Structure 1
Amino acid sequence: MLEPTYQADVVIVGAGIAGLSAAHRLNSAGVTTAVLEAAPCAGGRMATEKVDGFRLDRVGQLLSTAYPELRLTPGLDALVLRPFTPGVLLHSDGRRHRAGAPANAGGARGALHAVRALASAPRSAAGAVRSVPRGTAPLGTAVDQARLGTALTRIAGTPVERLLARPELPAGQALAARGVPARTIDGFLRPLLAALLCDPELTTSSRCADLALHAFARGRLCVPEGGAEVLPELLARTLPPGTLHTGVRVTSVSTTSVATAEHGEIRCRAVLLATDARTAADLLPGLRVPDFHPVTVVHHTTDEVPGTGASLLLDADRGGPVAHTAVVSEVDPTRAPAGRSLVSSTVLGRPPADLDTAVRTHLSRLYGTSTRRWETLAVHYTPEAVPAMRPPHDLRRPVRLMAGLYVCGDHRDTSTVQGALHSAHRAASAVLRDLGATGSMHLADPPRSIPRAA
C-alpha cells in the first residue's frame, strides 16, 4: 500500500512492458520510481491464461529473435525465445507450401526458399486436400518467385534509414506501384504481413510494412518460452522491492504529482504515462487515440499432433476466419501438458457470430484433418489489440510532452513488442536528460524501433 505522502523521483502509470522496462532503466541510473497499475497484476496485453496445464496467450503477438530491445532491456536477460521453423507454410488451393528466408545470417541474404508442396494426396472429403496442377504455388510463376527472392534479398540488406526515406503509401498500394504481381501480393505478402502487423487489408504505412519485411528476411519468428506473460514477469521480478503497486487507479496527472483513487496524491519530480493509448488520452485530453486492429485468439487441444511441426501456417486463400495458426506446443513444449497438442489460431477483424464452428471448419482445411474431436480451451477477443499504423505514421512520436511529463507505449512507436520497449527506452532517456541524472545509463539516442528480424 502506498501512503499518501509517498514520494518518488518518477511515477510511472501503467505496468505493461513499456512501463516496467522504463522503470528498470531509470532505477539503473539511480532514479527512484513508483509503478502504479490499476489491474490486479502487471503485464497489460502481454497476458497468459493458465487452463489445466496449458498456457494460453490472450493476444499472441509474434516476437523476433533479432528485436534489438529484447537484448538491450535490463531484466530480460533470462528470456528464452522459441523460434518457429524458418519461413512460413502457406495454404493455397488445397495444398501447403513452404516459403521464407533461410535461418542463418548469410543465407538470409540469399534467394527465397524453393516452394515445395507438403500435402499432395487428393481427397474428396469436405475440407480435405485436393489435387492441384503441378507447379501451382501461391507465389505465382517461377519468375515471380525469383523476383520475390531478389526483392527480399535486397530489402534484407537495405539500411533502415533508406527504407524510412521511401515515399509513404498504404502498403498494398506501394507494393502494387513497385510492380509486385498481384498473385505474389495476395498469395504471400498479404498473409505474411497480416501475421506480422494484424492488417490483412494492407492499409498499414508502407514504411512499417517494409520494416516488417526487412525483419522477416533477416531473422526468425518466435514466441517467449512459457507464454507472453513471461516478459512482464521477468521485468517485475527484478525491480527493487516496493517499486510496483497494483490495484492503484490513477485519476489525474501533472508534472509533479499523480492523484489516485485509493491513496490520494503522490508527489514526484516527473510522471511517465505508460498505459494504452485510450487510457493515456483519458488522463491527458488532446493525445491522439489511433484506430485499432481487433484480434481474436482461439486455443484448441487434441491428443493428435497435426503434421505441420513448429511452423507458422498462413491462409493465402483467405478461405475462412483464421489468418494464421500454429501447433504452439511444437514450438514451445512448456505451453501444453505431456501427450496433448496446443493449437493456437488468430482471427483478425470482427469475429463471425458462429466463431467456433467457422474456425473448426477452416482449421480442418488448413491442417487437412478432422477437428471434430478438438477441445476448445479458450477464446480471447481483444477489440483494441494492436494500434493501427496507417500513413502518415510517425515512428518517433514524441515521448516528451513537456519537462516533467512523458508518455510511452506501442502507440508512440511501432505497434510491436519492439516498439513498446523502444518507446520506453526513448522516454527513460528523455526523463534522465531533464532530471540531469546520468547514472549508469547512456543518454545518447537509443536504437530506432526497427525490428531487425520478425
Structure 2
Amino acid sequence: MGRTDGGRYDVVVVGAGAAGLACADDLSAAGLRVLLLEADTTVGGRMRTDRVAGFTVDRGFQVFNTSYPQVKRRIERKELRLRPFTPGVLVRTEDDLLRFTDPSRRPRESRDLLPGRLASGRDLVALGALSARDALAPASLLRRGRDGTTLTALADAGVSPELVETFLRPFLSGVFLEDELETSARFFHLVWRSMLRGTLCLPAEGIGAVPAQLASRLPPDVLRTGTPVSAVTGDGAVLADGGEVPARAVVVATGQRVAAELLPGLRVPDGRTVTTLYHATTRPPLTEPVLVVDSRRRFLNTCVLTAVQPRFSTDGRALVSTSVLGSPGPAETEAVLRALGDAYGADPGGWELVHRVTVPDALPAMPGPTPLSRTTRFAPGRYVCGDHRATGSLQGALASGARAAREVLTDLRATQRGRVRWIEPAVGA
C-alpha cells in the first residue's frame, strides 16, 4: 500500500454527511490539517437531491426546520431561498378533513380545535399545557426530564387514547418513522418544542442544498469525494484502491452500518426504513402547502411538494410526495394510491408514479429510555459521530459532528502537552 501524499494529516474524517461536514469544519477552523473523505461523488449522506422526470426530488421526504440551534449556527438560511409549509397539518379522518394548527399562529384557522371536532375540551387543555411547557422551557430542562416512551409521555400529560389515535400517532409516526410511539419521551419533547418554535420549510434547490452549503465553507483541499474507505487502522485510513492516508486521529462519520464495519465492536441502533412515492399530476389535488396525515394510517404523510416549492417542477405539473413505512410491494403501492384519492378527495387515476425512493436506516431507532447524546470516543485516536450517536435529526447529526471535533481537539492537545488523555472507550456503548 502506498501513501496518498507525502504528509500526515492531523485528522481524517470518513463520510461527508451532515456530521462529517460539521466535524471537518470545526477541526479546520481550529487550525488542524484535515482530510474529509466521501465515497460518493457528492456530499450529503441521506440529504441528497436528484432531478427526475423534470422534477426536483429529494431522496425521501425531508423538511428543513429553522429552529435547530446547529442550523442557526452554521447555515445561511437566505441562501437556501426557503418556502414554508403552512403551520399545522390536515388530518384525514373517517368522516372529514380536519385542520390541526397552532392557534397562536393561525387563530382564524383554528375552528377545528373547537371541542368536539378534532379533540375534546379536556384533550385540548392537556395538549395545550404540554405544548406551552415544551415551547417555553429551556431545552436543557427537557433533556434532563424523566425518560420513557412517547406514548407514556402523552398519557402522563393527560392526552386521551382517542386523540392519540386520531392525530398524534398518525402524525408522529411520520416524524419518528415508527408507529408504536416507542421513541424516547425526552426526544419527543425536544422535537415538539422545535416544531412549535420553528418553521418547516423546503429549500428552492432541494434538501441537498444544505450539505452543499456546508461543504462550500470548507477550506480548499479538505474535501475529497469519490474516495471510499475500506478500513481504519492504527495509522490512519485505508482506501478502497489500496492507498493509505496516515493521520493522528480518524473520525468515522458514516451511517451506522458502515460505522460498525469500519469500527468492529461498535454497537449501533437499529434503523428505520421508509419509502417515498412521487406522483406527477396535471392538476394538484391540493393547492395549499400543507402536510396531510391519515387517521387510518394507510400512509405516513403526503403533501403537494410543488405547492410548497413551485421550482420543483419544470413544466407546471404538480408533484405529490407520499411516505410509507418499510418497502411496499406493487399491491401495497396501489392501495396507497387509492388511499391518496380518498385523502385528497380526488381521482388519482391519471397520476403517474415518476419516482420511488426506499431509504434503509433513514433514522436510527430511539426507543425510550435512551441517551440523547453519546461520546464519540471509540478507541485511542478513533472516533465515531452521526445522528446514531445523538438524535435522529439534522440537529443531532450536526451536534454529534461538533462533539467529535471537541473531543478530538481535547485529546490531541492533551497528547501534545505530554499528558495522555483517554476516557473509557465507547465499544458497546
How does the TM-score come out when normalised to structure 1?
0.84
Specify whether residues 220 and 23 from structure 1 end up closer, same or farther in structure 2 by C-alpha distance, changes over 3 A only.
same
Paired residue for 2:110, among 114, 130, 133?
114
Q: How many residues align?
A: 413
Query: Offset at 1:268?
Result: 1.3
**Who is 1:237 aligned against?**
216
Please tell me the residue identity of whatever aligns with 1:83: P
Q: 2: distance between equivalents of 1:44 and 1:75?
A: 20
Compared with structure 1, are the counterparts of its residues 111 and 405 closer, same or farther at alpha carbon in structure 2 (3 Å cutoff)?
Answer: farther
2:192 maps to 1:196: no
The residue type paired with residue 62 of structure 1 is: V
- For residue 414 of structure 1, the aligned residue among 391, 395, 400 is 391
Q: CA deviation at 1:331?
A: 0.9
For 2:52 and 2:326, the matched residues in 1 are separated by: 25
Once residues 111 and 258 of structure 2 are traced to their aligned partners in structure 1, the CA distance between those partners, rounded to angstroms, is: 45
CA RMSD of aligned residues (A): 2.5
Matched AA of 1:100: T
Q: 1:112–1:149: 8 Å Cα contact kept in structure 2?
A: no
CA separation in 2, counterparts of 1:263 and 1:349? Answer: 36
How far apart are residue 113 of structure 1 and its match? 6.5
Matched, 1:304 2:283: yes
Secondary structure of 2:272 counterpart: strand
Q: Aligned pair in 2 of structure 1 residues 32, 115: CA closer, same or farther (>3 Å)?
A: farther
Compared CA separation, residues 413 and 81, structure 1 to 2 (3 A): farther
Aligned equivalents of 2:240 and 2:53: distance in 1? 36
In 2, distance between residues paired with 1:245 and 1:259? Answer: 14
- How many angstroms does 1:291 deviate by? 1.1
Extract unaligned runs of 5+ from structure 2. 415-429
Cα 1:147–1:179 change in 2 (3 A) is closer
- Choose the corresponding residue for 1:386, options 342, 349, 363: 363
1:218-263 Cα offsets, whole Å, 9 max, x none, are: 2222223311211222222332332222222212213541111215
> What is the deviation of 1:17?
1.6
Paired residue for 2:253, among 244, 263, 274? Answer: 274
Q: Is the 8 A contact 1:256 1:269 kept in 2?
A: yes
Equivalence map 1:21-420=2 (5 Å): 21-73=22-74, 78-102=79-103, 107=104, 114-116=110-112, 137=117, 139-254=118-233, 256-318=235-297, 320=298, 322-420=299-397
- Provide closer, same or farther for how the CA distance between residues 399 and 113 of structure 1 changes in structure 2, counting only shifts above 3 A: farther
Task: Report the Cα distance in structure 1 between the residues aligned to 2:129 and 2:165, rounded to whole angstroms.
Answer: 18
SS at match of 2:350: coil
Deviations 1:282-338 (A, max 9, x none): 1111111211111001011111122251011111222x2x21011111111221124
SS across alignment from 1:425: helix
Deviation of the 1:56 alpha carbon: 0.9
Instruction: Report deviation, 1:172.
Output: 1.3
Amino acid at match of 1:68: P
How many Å separate the matches in 2 of 1:406 and 1:251? 16
Could you say what secondary structure the match of 2:158 adopts?
coil
Q: Specify which structure has the higher proportion of helix.
A: 2
User: What corresponds to 1:442 in structure 2?
Assistant: none
Q: Say whether the 8 Å CA contact 2:123–2:158 is kept in structure 1.
A: no
TM-score by length of 2: 0.89
Q: Which amino acid in the other structure matches residue 29 of structure 1?
A: A
- SS of structure 1 residue aligned to 2:238: strand
User: 2: CA distance between counterparts of 1:92 and 1:80?
Assistant: 34
What amino acid sits opposite 1:243 in the alignment? V
* Residue identity (%): 40
Task: Give a deviation string over 1:128-152, Cα, whole Å, max 9, x none.
Answer: xxxxxx9753x32233223322321
3-state SS, counterpart of residue 281 of structure 1: helix
Q: CA deviation at 1:77?
A: 7.0
